[in-house]
Structure 1
Amino acid sequence: MLSPLVGVWSDRTRTRIGRRLPFLLGGAVLGLVALPAVALAPNVPLMGVAWVFALLGWTTAAQAILNLQADRIPEERRGKVSGLTGLTGQMGPIVGIGLVSAVSGHTLLVFMLPALVGAVLAAVFLRVGSRGESRTDTPVPAGPVSARTLLAGYTFSPRQNRDFAWNWLGRLTFFTGLYFNTTFSTFFYAQRLRMTVQDVAGTVAVIGMLGILAAALGAVGGGMLSDRLGRRRLFALVGGLFFVAGAVTEAFSHSFPQLVVGSVLMQLSIAFFTAVDQAIVMAVLPDQEEAGRYMTVGVLSLKIPSALAPLIAPFILAVGASGGEKNYTLLYLTGAALAFLGGLMIFTRVKAVR
């Protein structure tokens, strides 16, 4: 939730390496120090503090990369870059789990190894990204940094920035549906396949790997096709339609093959949507000079659903539930409706983008 404040600060930063890269460097250093501190913490409160600083560090570094893309990626390449960025978001957790599994017997390495990998990759990006980066001559947003400015970093005027507002609301709606249908997937598979949660782990892994392959195809192919056609909103709608197909398939599935088909369709949906999602955000920013502020406000439309959906979903699961069976059919159908509505909002209401 501190991201908009970092965005406002980033917009007004002027250094020899530009306004974004200092936050990449600072965030990576903070994350590199804080993650091992989680493992070494002598008690739970200190562990919690270290974890908060680790999240702050790595999210700041990641946001700096997104802000730099908003500054420098030309419109005709944004679909490709958006698709590749979405793909790395899909692959990152898989790689991280693999690294942690390899050193699972050593608590310090479980936290230290991912931190080192992240720091090395950040250093590589810092080296490459500094080429051609704008220096101290970039215009500074008007007005001093004050408490009012920082608080304003969380807000924007929907009336004056209709495209940004509709896109923000569409993303919020789409990702709420997404988190409805992914947060409890392990328990859903266990119930539908009549297995225990412990025994379903292998099934989840297989479905997850097939989903990654579908996501790679959809993200890269969708992003490149979006650039070639010069169309963005259409792919948001297609993503919503694929989500409906996948969610409905899973909602009425009671066998492994059906669940695989539904999951692959949903992963294709996410890939198509994210292939243009970031590109649309960059195109409808209210003020390019304050790209950091508005990019991070845009990220809130993803973070809010990740926090709210798991709190709301149990109430949906309880509707008509009996004998220990949760109502996953209703949950998945609700998620499908929300995802489609989100894609439809962007397709019909965002006017500044084709």
Structure 2
Amino acid sequence: MQDESLSGSHPDTSAASQPPTAAVEQRPEEPGPPLEPVSNSYLIWMMAANFGVAMAYVLPLAYTLTLRIDELAPGREEVLGYITGTAQVVFLIASPLIGVWSDRTRSRFGRRRPFLIGGSILGLLALAGISVAPSLLLIGVGWVFAMLGWATASQAIITVQADRIPEEQRGKVSGLTGVTGQVGPIIGVGIASAVSNSFLVFVIPGVLGIVLAVVFAVRGSEPDSRPLAPTGPVSVKEILASYVFNPRRYPDFGWNWLGRFVFFMGLYFNTTFSTFFYAQRLDLPVKEVAGAVAVVGAVGVVAAILGAVGGGFLSDKLGRRRLFTLIGALLFVCGAVVEAFAYSFPMLFVGSVLMQLAIAAFAAVDSAIAMAVLPNRTEAGRYMAVVAFSQKIPSALAPLIAPFIITFGTVGDVKNYTALYLTGALFALVGGLLIFTRVRSVR
């Protein structure tokens, strides 16, 4: 049978074209003894590390990188897109290779800790370089290395969860990961706003990130990986295979990947142009909607925390995952429909908060599903990188497709945001239904 695969660069829907009855149903491989529940102290240090890494990683994207670019090239907002987009492409290409390297690492420190610490060190050095870089080119190069470092550290934390967290704790852990990932950058912005020195606004969050990563590496010790089966050299075929998987052999992994991909396409349709959307619906210049966006964003974070923690904890308690992904998708549809027909701030506010709640609930619970249906737990690094493609690819594709939707049937400068938000709602619903109806090995 030919390998009909889903790849990071071109999502293949071959899994969708085959009914489950026609597929060779194969549950994920679970080598070794069953996973034991981890202690609360272990989870605390893991979440602290995730908080620190998220602060160091997301804060430049949200705030400090913009300030640095504006110092060297005032009014050149497009440069931020070029720099962040280039770094994103580099990491998308590198992430499965890093995952395979992590899976095959044999050391007294385990498989994931070297990448958590090494990635954090690289990220901190790159942030320091960006803070003093004299040109946009060097800032761009610096951000490529900063993203490689911190994203590798973040990926190591997620992979540790796939390695160590048993099914009965995955919802809670995924929810807490989402919360700490949200709160870290917010605290970072507060730190950055209190510091006027351009070197310190980059380095302080980076230092906090590496300190918390090291503490978790020490306190949450990982087993020595040297006793694991040795691995030989990696062939070109194995490298290429790290970007794909066989959805016929692992249908639940394939359906979940496809459902995530479709859901996140809908999400990015409805979030990419939110500032321009608010300006049009509130009849304000773009520069004057900052206050409205800030209010919605602040309350949205609270809603996201409630959605992530509530969805994750309830799904663990009830032993149900797919139901909560469907609830998340339905809530997203409600929020998107409200926003599609909203022409006042209160209605825009309600729609946005509903969507933030929905996104967090869906993402937390579906992350637990993704860990449950991994084809092979010994290759968690590789497969979690492939799972990340289902979110990263839509983040690049949706902004390219959305302009065609908002200009459809328009007259003058009034964009068709109603069509865009309804399209996003439809995609999110289809994604939720795919996971709810097709993933069979998870309740």
Provide the rounded CA distance (Å) in 2 between the counterparts of 1:334 and 1:34.
39
**Which of 99, 114, 127 is 1:7 aligned to?**
99
2:369 is matched with which residue?
Answer: 280
SS in structure 2 at match of 1:109: helix
Distance apart, 1:147 and its partner CA: 2.2
Mean CA deviation greater in 110-119 or 165-174: 110-119
Paired position in structure 2 for 1:28: 120
Counterpart of 2:200 in structure 1 is 109
Partners of 1:316 and 1:187 in 2: CA distance? 14
Matched, 1:241 2:335: no
What is the match of residue 333 of structure 1? 422
For normalisation by structure 2, the TM-score amounts to 0.77
1:146-225 alignment runs, 5 A limit: 146-225=235-314
**Secondary structure, counterpart of 2:287 in structure 1:** coil
Aligned-partner SS, 1:156: coil
User: What's the CA shift for 1:138?
Assistant: 5.6
The yes-or-no answer on 1:268 pairing with 2:360 is no
What value does the CA root-mean-square deviation take over the aligned residues?
A: 1.4
2:405 to 313, 316, 319: 316
2-structure distance, mates of 1:303, 1:98: 27
| Aligned counterpart, 1:145 | 234
Matched, 1:38 2:130: yes
- For 1:18 and 1:239, the matched residues in 2 are separated by 36
- Aligned pair in 2 of structure 1 residues 181, 260: CA closer, same or farther (>3 Å)? same
Give CA-to-partner distance per residue, 1:238-273, whole Å, 9 cap, x none.
111000000000010011111111011101111210
Q: Distance between the aligned counterparts of 1:289 and 1:298, measured in 2? A: 15
Aligned partner (choices 213, 224, 227) of residue 135 of structure 1: 224
Separation in 2, partners of 1:21, 1:62? 11
Of stretches 317-326 and 303-312 in structure 1, the one that deviates more from structure 2 is: 317-326
Residue deviations 1:55-110 (CA, integer Å, cap 9, x gap): 0000000000001010000110000001111222322332333333223x432223
C-alpha displacement at 1:324, in angstroms?
1.2
1:143: how far off?
5.4
The residue type paired with residue 34 of structure 1 is: A
For 2:166, which of 49, 64, 74 is the aligned residue?
74
Partner secondary structure for residue 182 of structure 1 = coil
In structure 2, the CA distance between the partners of 1:141 and 1:247, relative to structure 1 (3 Å rule), is farther
> What is the one-letter code of the residue matched to 2:127?
L
Aligned pair count reads 351
Post-superposition offset of 1:141? 7.7
Give the distance between the partners of 1:262 and 1:61, measured in 2 at CA.
34
Q: Percent same amino acid among aligned pairs?
A: 66
Q: Is the 1:139–1:289 Cα contact (8 Å) retained in structure 2? A: no
Q: Deviations over 1:166-210 (max 9, x none)?
A: 100110111111111111111111111111221111111110111
Query: Where does the alignment leave 5 or more consecutive residues of structure 2 unmatched?
Result: 1-91
**Matched letter for residue 199 of structure 2:** L
